[in-house]
């Protein structure tokens, strides 16, 4: 067993004591490269769930420490409620990603693509999942086979 998994096993009890966990699949928290390097495809479902919870706890701990030290994240100061997972739908057509694509959600929020990626996929009012990731946010569009795309909130 690798050192990383030993550490993970030691931290699992802490992860299981956390209040509640958003419904964010492990695949949305780690890139395909990270998953391959960690051998996630060979893990049991219980191991995958423990890792998912640990990553969420790790994010929460870092976020709390930043708040204690007075660090104001852009998303905190402009949109206090955007620090958690957002489940909504695109208000109208989704035609994929074009580089700086902007989408209005049915909850009134407006999000813009923050990293360059081009991919065409048409859907009408698809569900979206927006979740914190590496100091920003990522959006996963239901039915789109691409990895989640980095986004920033405009409104």
Residue 137's Cβ-side half-sphere holds a number of Cα atoms within 13 Å equal to 26
Q: What is the pLDDT of residue 74?
A: 40
With 0-12 / 13-18 / 19 or more C-beta atoms within 10 angstroms meaning exposed / middle / buried, residue 65 is exposed
- Percentage, residues of the chain above pLDDT 90: 16
| pLDDT tens readout for residues 90-116 | 999 999 888 888 999 999 999 999 888
The three-point CA angle 44-48-50 to 5° equals: 115
Which residue shows structure tokens 């959600």? 105
pLDDT tens-digit profile of 76-91? 334 434 457 888 999 9
More confident residue, 52 or 154: 154
* Full-model pTM: 0.48
pLDDT at residue 91, rounded to an integer: 92
Residue 33: phi and psi, rounded to 5, are -65, -45
Neighbours of 20 (CB within 10 A): 5
Positive/negative CA dihedral, 132, 133, 135, 136? negative
Examine the pLDDT at 30 and tell me if it is beyond 80: no
Of 131, 119, 115, 117, whose CA–CA distance to 26 is shortest? 131
């Amino acid at each position: 067993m690798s050192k990383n998994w030993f550490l993970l096993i030691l931290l699992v009890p802490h992860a299981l004591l956390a209040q509640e966990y958003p419904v964010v699949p492990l695949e949305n928290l780690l890139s395909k490269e990270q998953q391959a390097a960690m051998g996630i495809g060979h893990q049991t479902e219980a191991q995958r769930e423990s890792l998912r919870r640990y990553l969420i706890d790790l994010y929460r701990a870092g976020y709390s420490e930043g708040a204690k030290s007075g660090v104001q994240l852009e998303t905190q100061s402009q949109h206090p409620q955007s620090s958690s997972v957002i489940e909504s739908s695109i208000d109208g057509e989704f035609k994929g990603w074009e580089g700086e694509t902007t989408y209005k959600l049915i909850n009134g929020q407006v999000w813009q693509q923050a990293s360059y990626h081009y991919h065409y996929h048409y859907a009408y009012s698809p569900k979206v999942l927006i979740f914190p990731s590496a100091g920003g946010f990522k959006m996963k569009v239901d039915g789109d086979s691409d990895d989640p795309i980095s986004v920033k909130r405009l409104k």
